[in-house]
Amino acid sequence: MPETPRVPEAAASDVPALLAEPPWTRRRTPPPAEPVVVKGLKRPKAPAAESWPPGLREEFASAPSPYGASETSVPDDVDWEAVADYYRGGEALEGLRGGDRSIRWRWLVLDGPDDLAVELLADERYFDDHSGWVYVDDLKRVAARHGLAAHRLLLHAAKEHITCAAALVPFVDDATAQLMLKGWKRNEAAGRAWAAWHGPAAVPFLVPEALRKPGPKRTHAEEAIAVIVREHGGDCVLAAAREYGDEAVAGMEALGLDPLDRFPDPLPEPDEEFVREKLPPVLLRGREAALPVPAVRNLVTMLRISSVKDPYAGCEQVFEHLDPASLAELAWAMYLAEGYVPNAWASPGTEYAVQRLGDAGTAARLAAAMVRWSKNRVYSGGLRALDVLTAIDSPDTLRHLDRLARKAADVKRMQVHAHWRLQAVAQGRGITTEQLADRLVPDFGLDADGGMTLDYGPRRFRVGFDEELEPYVLDEGGGRRAALPKPGAKDDGALAPAAYRRFGDLRKEVRDVAADQITRLERAMVTGRSWAADEFREVLAEHPLMRHLARRLVWSAGPDPFRIAEDGTFADVRDDAFALPADASVTLPHPLLVKDRAGWAEVFADYEILQPFPQLGRVVHEPAPDERAASRLARFEGARVPNGPIFGLVRAGWVFGAKETGGYQRDVSLELVKDRFVTVHIEPGIRVLTPEDAPVQEIAQVRLGASRYGSPRTLDEFGPVLASEVLAALTKLTGADRDA
């Protein structure tokens, strides 16, 4: 962990009161031996009220349709009165539920005139049609548009399918309260949001349930009241209890309404040696004094009795007095010191500390750890760390998710779930995940020319990048250096060391993204990805970092190839200016698709332009005549291949198949584009734990298909580019290129 400068210990008067003397150090009235039960309390039957937390209505309104692209859109010329009559007169009841009957219902309720929609929402004859959706997102859209007019339908749906109670968060009445308690275990996030928002308005419906005989419903009511107490204080609870009488007030007081007094017994208190040896100093705001060890012990205790969903109430009160950076270091140190936690990536308290106190550095450390987690670690609670990572306030969160989606060691869970999260973000922005990845490439503080000037005072250096995005420097005479010289005696004592450190940091920062970006561009060439002209300029040609790669490649606007010159303009193969049409679709062409490939190779040689990956010099392969219509590539079958090159395929993006009996994996496949897979079957197979058991494999079968084991596809169906890439990979794997 980074060194925290040694600072003097804070005076006793400067230590936050809750850390100097937390509630568990004071004597308190012990809770009653048996839970207080008050019988005969009647819940109020007040009419339902509607109140929306900030942003929730907009969130509900934008909930995705569960039908996705198959959703039937509303016709432009729909006759709304006719649709209303279809339901009003009962004609809809003559047919089966679902189908056209359900489609027209959604049209009218979500897009039709308000008066007709409200009329249909009140028609109980169709309630069962739509409680049967079990699609809470659709119900959220209905709630957002119609509010209380949709309440009865939402209640009916939640009674049939309790997960639909999540659509009832904006409403408060007895029926809603009962459904929230009933579904607390399955919809705890919704229940807590409902209790926290409605607070005093919700308490009257909860008091009778919190004083009933012990059982799940009482437990859930107590938890809901604890949320309200934390958010609104205990007075509103006592005020509601007074309406039920003195016995109810005494019962509620016995629950412990001071949130600071809600802590377990015994407490998980750390010892002083742990605090001194394992944890960094925690500084007060201003960073001029550090908490004494006993105060740090009390702070760690508060964190350990917290969880993300139920933090100890004293935490926020003390955080405001403490330095955020040292709190972030404390949270990470707690994680490192914790070790293995069964069925979780961290204990609830450490998870809360990392999420609540973590900063951009914490997010980077956590993401770096998650990339390496084994599938067993991920399976036993590791996916919860994705929630924590995305909740940390960091500008790099999406970049971390993108890295996990592509690089995580656990392919089946971590990569997939990170990809889903990116897909959700991309969908919300109306772009693809690849377009989102384009926008996540950092500029590292480079200027508009894609460089950086480092000032030593009496001398300056200019940063540039080579074909692998490795930074170098040019001195004032134009001489090129691989690295900055160390500051000398004549250099500015403040500027020079800072510039020297900045270049070192830049090398590390760029190294983390360079290989990924080169790989992404090479994949774009193979898959035929395209960019709109303005998008191409923004994320490639004019991006401070990516321009260094983009200008080393040949691009195409339709059939016309061009390159990006050193000054940022576009040029054709004759070095004449090339005008990129505003409506052009720009691609990174495979050499099979580059017009005048030899001419372009000559241009790049003349300008001594090295490419980040083989494009113009790429070896291309054509199928043999008898292979074009084949879905098996027999010429590679029977070849004997050491395990090393097969593991090399996996490092390059291929994926092993499922383990078979004995722990053997007997195939490895690559998805080139959607519905185009190549699968190589091997014998006797690689035993993952002991690959040396069978160090050489025989290629039993090479199969082309729509999926790993799906319907066959031919090389002609793959197209010339993908066919060339498949043949190139297999030729390299089997050593056929060396034998030729």
pLDDT digits (tens, 9 = 90+) for 673-698: 999 999 999 999 999 789 899 999 99
- H helix runs in 478-527, sequence order: 495-527
Q: How confident is the model at residue 192 (pLDDT cuts 50, 70, 90)?
A: very high
- Residue found under tokens 């150090």: 25
pLDDT at 2 over 50: no
Q: How confident is the model at residue 312 (pLDDT cuts 50, 70, 90)?
A: very high
Q: Which residues pair with 698 in a beta bridge?
A: 640, 683
Longest dimension (CA), the chain: 95
CA 425, chain centre distance (Å): 8
For the residues 363-383, what does the mean pLDDT come to? 93
Higher pLDDT, 686 or 428: 686
**pLDDT one-digit tens code per residue, 199-210:** 999 999 999 999
Cis-peptide, bond into residue 281, ω within 30° of zero: no
Report the pLDDT value the prediction gives residue 261, as an integer from 0 to 100: 84
pLDDT at 455 over 60: yes
- % of residues, the chain, pLDDT over 70: 96
Tell me which residue of 392, 394, 311, 375 sits closest to 348, measured CA to CA. 311
Q: Are 361 and 350 in contact (CB under 8 A)?
A: no
**pLDDT one-digit tens code per residue, 143-159:** 999 999 999 999 999 99
Tell me which residue of 385, 309, 308 sits closest to 345, measured CA to CA. 385
Report the pLDDT value the prediction gives residue 258, as an integer from 0 to 100: 84
pLDDT at 660 over 50: yes
Using CA atoms, how far apart are residues 142 and 356, in angstroms rounded to an integer?
34
pLDDT at 432 over 80: yes
Least confident of 249-263, 618-632, 700-714: 249-263
Stretch (H or E) spanning 563: strand 560-564
Tell me which residue of 543, 579, 297, 333 sits closest to 439, measured CA to CA. 543
Q: Are 633 and 655 in contact (CB under 8 A)?
A: no
Report the pLDDT value the prediction gives residue 332, as an integer from 0 to 100: 97
Report the pLDDT value the prediction gives residue 29, as an integer from 0 to 100: 66
Q: Which two tokens stand for residue 84?
A: 């209303």
Q: What is the mean pLDDT of the chain?
A: 91
Tell me which residue of 353, 294, 301, 304 sits closest to 329, measured CA to CA. 353
| Residue 528 backbone zone (phi > 0: left; psi -120 to 50: alpha; other: beta) | left
For the residues 419-431, what does the mean pLDDT come to? 87
**pLDDT one-digit tens code per residue, 25-84:** 887 666 677 889 999 999 999 999 999 999 999 999 988 776 665 566 788 888 999 999
Q: Which residues pair with 283 in a beta bridge?
A: 290
Least confident of 296-305, 366-375, 655-664: 655-664
- % of residues, the chain, pLDDT over 90: 75
Report the pLDDT value the prediction gives residue 132, as an integer from 0 to 100: 44
CA atoms in the 13 A half-sphere facing the CB of 735: 11
Q: Which residues pair with 532 in a beta bridge?
A: 585
The DSSP bridge pattern shows strands 585-587 and 640-642 to be unpaired
Q: 23: which DSSP letter?
A: G
Report the pLDDT value the prediction gives residue 103, as an integer from 0 to 100: 84
Using CA atoms, how far apart are residues 299 and 283, in angstroms rounded to an integer?
12
3-state secondary structure of 564: strand
Tell me which residue of 308, 359, 354 sits closest to 334, measured CA to CA. 354
Q: 166: which DSSP letter?
A: G
- With vertex at residue 289, the alpha carbon angle to CA 286 and CA 293, rounded to the nearest 5 degrees, is 135
Report the pLDDT value the prediction gives residue 263, as an integer from 0 to 100: 87
Q: How confident is the model at residue 482 (pLDDT cuts 50, 70, 90)?
A: confident
For the residues 689-718, what does the mean pLDDT come to? 92
Tell me which residue of 182, 218, 296 sits closest to 35, measured CA to CA. 218
| Number of CB atoms found within 10 A of residue 487's CB | 17
Report the pLDDT value the prediction gives residue 737, as an integer from 0 to 100: 53
Task: Supply the DSSP string of 683-712, one letter for each residue.
Answer: EEEEESS-GGGS-EEEEEEEEEESSSSSSB
Task: Supply the DSSP string of 339-355, one letter for each residue.
Answer: ---TTSSS-HHHHHHHH
Report the pLDDT value the prediction gives residue 73, as an integer from 0 to 100: 78
Report the pLDDT value the prediction gives residue 136, as an integer from 0 to 100: 86
For the residues 500-507, what does the mean pLDDT come to? 93
